[in-house]
């Protein structure tokens, strides 16, 4: 009887515990009916928002230098939603990636991330649109690649969304106000523990070496250091051939500290390559110029100097044959650059210059995959801003701007600044401190503003012209017949100014 009472007591206790547990679970379940459900420490919402926002990351170029591996990445942000994105942010895992250069994006370094933020002109990503031409170059000592942690976007209605990883067209993570507390905590902790640091560019080469290539908006040498070429251009070699001689190049290298020499071969003017000129003689002058520049450790530009032909297609067939021959001859020369159309006029970039350039670049690339190619722009190579968002596919191309300080002031300087800030690599292959005619008074104030802008942005520039022509842009006085070894007394006022600007003395 006593044993039966004990068994009954145990049964009642067990039933009581069971009922109590059931009640507690039920209450707890009711209490948390609308709460977040956590899994592996990540907060998620039961009602997930599907966002059609994603990022594409493409590797464009890879190279190695001094034990480091460099990769150029192009980013694009896609918005397939029915509402505009008003602002965006892309967070990358830092790992051992070192930022070398960037364009069309602002970058801040945090504790363990790189934070990519838009510039003023590319914050908005239109509905069903894409924001592209965002570029970054990273270096690494290992094989690390870019890894996107999350994307944060703010829509035009004020809604803020965080999307883990790259996102994709059909799926994304949840609204940041509901479901990404972990990422927000990480971001907050990073902001508290590490002061934001704006990334700067890599070092600058005092003496550039090896083959040059384009990184973003910069020209860099074989060591990966930024290069600013500074030198002079011949006048038309059909009319001033005697300035192409070994002693002239030696004088420019040793006395002026010039590191580049431009060989200007007119095409359509009388006696030019396409208008009665002796083609073999002109090509021999080009070859001599390349040899003398090479012997003096200088870079050299072979310039197809269109002017009166205006439209580059006027002599396109001749241009293709000429550059095919030159690029075959100099494919192994690390110091040769090609300028394929000097100063187009009345020629739309998209419908005229770009198609011409595409065909000539293709011709050169069939022989030389690595040379830097310079492409002129409309209105005597002033409209470099027209290239924005519509560059050639070739990443080793720079776009030409010319200025004459007496005529071209803030209006053209602003075009240059806009192009550079939009990721367009610019090369000033011809300039002077006179008016646009090449004659007239010198504008020192405008000239100094130009020089400051060029130096601050590491933009290469070449002075017009190495001749004693009776005009104020000629670097040599008309009274001086010397073809080398010029003293300051032999130089024009323009020549003296450029010698100082090039040498830095």
Which residues are designated catalytic? 343, 430
**C-alpha span between 438 and 407 (Å, rounded):** 10
DSSP symbol at 410: H
**C-alpha span between 149 and 138 (Å, rounded):** 17
- Three-class SS of residue 71? strand
Return all residues near 338 (Cβ < 8 A) that are at least 6 apart.
Answer: 301, 302, 304, 323, 326, 327, 364, 371, 372, 373, 374
- Three-class SS of residue 336? strand
Q: How many CA atoms lie within 13 A of 242 on its CB side?
A: 7
316-329 and 354-365 are packed helices; what angle lies between their axes, rounded to 10 degrees?
A: 30
* CA proximity to 430, closest of 172, 187, 274, 232: 232
**C-alpha span between 462 and 403 (Å, rounded):** 10
Q: How many CA atoms lie within 13 A of 313 on its CB side?
A: 12
Q: In sequence order, which ranges of 275-421 are alpha helices (DSSP H)?
A: 279-295, 316-329, 354-365, 378-381, 410-421
- Asked whether the beta carbons of 431 and 449 are under 8 A apart, the reply is no
Distances (CA, A) of 184 to 46, 150, 177: 19, 11, 10
- Three-class SS of residue 124? coil
* CA proximity to 483, closest of 230, 301, 202, 243: 243
């Amino acid at each position: 009887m006593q044993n039966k009472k004990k068994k009954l007591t145990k049964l009642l206790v067990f039933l009581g515990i069971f009922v109590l547990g059931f009640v507690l679970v039920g209450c707890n379940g009711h209490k948390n009916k609308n709460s977040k459900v956590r899994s592996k420490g990540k907060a998620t919402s039961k009602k997930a928002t599907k966002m059609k926002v994603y990022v594409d990351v493409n590797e464009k170029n890879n190279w190695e230098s001094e034990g480091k591996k460099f990769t150029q990445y192009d980013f694009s942000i896609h918005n397939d939603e029915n509402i505009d994105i008003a602002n965006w942010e892309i967070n990358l895992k830092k790992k051992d990636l070192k930022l070398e250069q960037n364009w069309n994006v602002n970058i801040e370094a945090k504790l363990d991330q790189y934070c990519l933020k838009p510039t003023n002109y590319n914050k908005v990503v239109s509905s069903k649109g894409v924001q592209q031409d965002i570029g970054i170059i990273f270096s690494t000592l290992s094989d690390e690649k870019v890894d996107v942690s999350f994307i944060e976007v703010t829509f035009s209605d004020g809604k803020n969304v965080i999307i883990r990883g790259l996102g994709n067209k059909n799926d994304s993570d949840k609204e940041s106000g509901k479901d990404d507390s972990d990422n927000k905590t990480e971001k907050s902790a990073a902001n508290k523990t590490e002061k934001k640091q704006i990334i700067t560019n890599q070092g600058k080469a005092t003496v550039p070496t090896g083959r040059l290539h384009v990184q973003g908006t910069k020209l860099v040498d074989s060591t990966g250091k930024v290069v600013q070429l500074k030198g002079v251009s011949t006048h038309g070699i059909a009319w001033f051939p005697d300035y192409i001689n070994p002693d002239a190049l030696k004088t420019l290298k040793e006395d002026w500290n010039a590191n580049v020499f431009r060989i200007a071969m007119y095409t359509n003017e009388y006696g030019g390559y396409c208008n009665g000129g002796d083609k073999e003689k002109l090509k021999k002058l080009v070859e001599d110029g390349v040899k003398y520049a090479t012997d003096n450790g200088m870079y050299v530009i072979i310039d197809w100097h269109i002017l009166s032909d205006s439209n580059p297609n006027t002599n396109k067939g001749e241009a293709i044959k000429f550059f095919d021959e030159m690029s075959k001859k100099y494919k192994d020369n690390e110091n040769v650059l090609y300028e394929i159309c000097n100063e187009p006029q009345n020629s739309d970039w998209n419908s005229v210059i770009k198609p011409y350039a595409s065909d000539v670049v293709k011709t050169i690339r069939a022989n030389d995959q690595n040379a830097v190619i310079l492409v002129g722009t409309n209105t005597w190579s002033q409209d470099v801003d027209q290239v924005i968002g519509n560059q050639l596919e070739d990443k080793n191309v720079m776009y030409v701007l010319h200025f004459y300080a007496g005529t071209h002031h803030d209006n053209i300087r602003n075009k240059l600044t806009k192009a550079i800030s939009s990721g367009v690599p610019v090369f000033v292959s011809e300039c002077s401190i006179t008016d646009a005619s090449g004659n007239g008074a010198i504008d020192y104030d405008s000239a100094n503003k130009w020089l400051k802008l060029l130096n601050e942005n590491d933009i290469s520039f070449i002075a017009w012209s190495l001749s004693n022509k009776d005009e104020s842009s000629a670097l040599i006085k008309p009274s001086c017949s010397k073809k080398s070894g010029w003293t300051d007394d032999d130089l024009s006022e323009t020549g003296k100014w450029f010698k100082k600007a090039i040498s830095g003395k």
